Amino acid sequence: MDHFEFRHGELHAEDVPVSRIAETHGTPLYVYSRATLERHYRAFDEALAGLDHLVCYAVKANSNLAVLQTLARLGAGFDIVSGGELQRVLRAGGDAGKVVFSGIGKSEDEIRLALDAGIYCFNVESEYELELLDATARLMGKRARIAFRVNPDVDARTHPYISTGLKNNKFGVDIATAEALYQRAAEMAGIEIIGIANHIGSQLLDVSPFLDALDRVLALVQRLAARGITLRHLDVGGGLGVRYHEEKPIAPREWATALRPKLDSLGLKILTEPGRAIAGNAGILVTRVLGIKGNEAKRFAIVDAAMNDLLRPTLYQAWMNIVPVIESSDSALQTYDVVGPICESGDWLGRDRELAIATDDLLAVRTAGAYGFTMASNYNSRPRAAEVMVDGSDVHVVRARESFDDLVRGERLLP
């Protein structure tokens, strides 16, 4: 469920007509719904009620400060993959003590930043990272709290670019060697072992891969206990999918109900790291039709948003729902490729879409709140879009539209 709905033939963001937002703030434009973000966070929090748990929002899905602030005010934790994401969380009022730091390429500077901030845990993904953490923490007179992110070799049955739990993926440590790594970590002066983690991929639509991975991780937990290595938390990762087209996503309550029989008696704190499932349909991308061209063989609706604004269709060949902001009976229903102005044949938002539209109409790309703006670029020297947050009948600019001066700030001409 989200708070973008049609009323009297016009798309609204909560209580505000999207056309009014676009007229005021221009296009292309990302529009977020605060009520939707809050609803989706609470869905995870309530699904795990009764368990000691922490819902750590995956910042990479949408890292706008206002999005992070909204979730921090609800008590969310955060899953980060860079020092920059940590600084965003702190700037937005997030609690460093609720931050887990994932990712395979943490630098020494990022590790120092996280240790100084006092984050809850590092999710360690390699032996070399363990050694770097130990050495850095000892030099700083600290101990780094860690969990190993284990790779359970489970097929998440999702797009190969967002599958992370197979042996041929770059993420995590092989579950077959994790036991020995835990033993080594237990002997390091700069390391404090507190948990175990896994994350097998994103946009998962079936609960069985979660259960398969959890069984393999719990078997490892038992082997570690036999070695005298006790843990305080289990991080079950994230990855619940959302509806873009005809998918049937798993509801957080359904997911939690399936996992709980394996979790209730563990006595461990449970962490989860949803990103897309919280932010995905909490946002839309609004774009204006610049013109229509084509012939009987192919028709194009050329819009002012492009692959630099929304990369998912080009990168993943992802299908995202595109709808007119105002339903019209004046235009004939025809089949269009919805394409942007960038000089690439791969610059498209949607192919073979049945739309009744005309030049200057507004379109909304649904479920664009996750991996939308956060993956945007300045390709073709295009300033990035503005972002706004709707809160009931109020509209707040949460990121100003970039200007040309923003694009070239930091560049210098030769003398």
Q: pLDDT by residue (tens digit) across 97-125?
A: 999 999 999 999 999 999 999 999 999 99
Helix and strand numbers (H, E) in the chain are 12, 21
284 is a domain residue:
yes
* pLDDT (tens digit per residue) in 195-221: 999 988 888 998 998 998 899 999 999
Q: Are residues 266 and 151 in the same domain?
A: yes
CA–CA dist 173, 202 (Å, integer) = 18
Residue 402 has pLDDT above 70, yes or no: yes
Q: Which residues are annotated as a binding site for substrate?
A: 276, 312, 316, 344, 371
- Give the active site residues: 343
Rounded Cα–Cα distance for residues 387 and 389 (Å): 7
Both 262 and 286 in a single domain? no
Same domain? 259 vs 305: no
392 located within any domain: yes
Contact criterion met (CB below 8 Å) for 304 and 348: no
Query: What's the rounded Cα separation, in Å, for the pair 315 and 326?
Result: 29
Q: Per the domain annotation, does 64 fall within a domain?
A: no
247 and 303 share one domain? no
Query: What CATH code is carried by the domain that includes residue 203?
Result: 3.20.20.10
Shared-domain flag, residues 201 and 258: yes
Of 272, 305, 329, which marks where a domain is finished? Answer: 272
Q: Pick the last residue of a domain from 249, 272, 295.
A: 272
Q: What whole-number distance in Å separates Cα of residue 16 and Cα of residue 274?
A: 28
Q: Which of 272, 304, 330 is the last residue of a domain?
A: 272
How sure is the predictor about 161, in pLDDT bands with cuts at 50, 70 and 90? very low
As beta bridge partners, residue 29 has 286, 386
Contacts of 40 (CB under 8 A, 6+ apart): 274, 277, 278, 279, 282
Asked if the structure places residue 201 within a domain, the reply is yes
pLDDT of residue 336: 96
Q: Residues 112, 238: one domain?
A: yes
Residue 1 has pLDDT above 80, yes or no: no
Same structural domain, 250 and 389: no
- 331 and 200, same structural domain? no
49 part of a folded domain:
no
Q: Summarize the confidence of residues 75-79 as an average pLDDT.
A: 98
What's the pLDDT score for residue 162?
A: 40
Per-residue pLDDT, averaged over 348-372, amounts to 97
What CATH number corresponds to the domain at position 337?
A: 2.40.37.10
**Annotated binding-site ranges:** 239, 273-276, 312, 316, 344, 371
How much is the pTM?
A: 0.94
Binding-site annotation: residue ranges for pyridoxal 5'-phosphate: 239, 273-276, 371
Contact 121, 191 (CB under 8 A): no
Query: Domain range holding 159?
Result: 103-272
Query: Are 173 and 304 members of one domain?
Result: no
Yes or no: say if 367 and 313 are a contact pair by the CB < 8 Å rule. Answer: no
414 inside domain: no
Note whether 247 and 299 are same-domain residues: no
d(CA 49, CA 202): 23
404 lies in some domain: yes
Mean pLDDT confidence for 133-151: 97
380 pLDDT above the threshold of 70: yes
Asked if residue 130 and residue 267 are part of one domain, the reply reads: yes
Q: In this predicted model, what pLDDT tens digit does every residue of 290-343 receive, in sequence order?
A: 999 997 789 999 999 999 999 999 999 999 999 999 998 788 899 999 999 999
Angle at 55 between CA 52 and CA 59, to 5 degrees: 155
* In the predicted structure, residue 155 carries a pLDDT above the cut 70: no
The domain tally of the chain equals 2
Q: Are residues 261 and 318 in the same domain?
A: no
Which two tokens mark 250?
A: 């798993």
Residue type, 190: G
56 lies in a domain? no
Per the CB < 8 A criterion, the answer to whether 323 and 281 are in contact is no
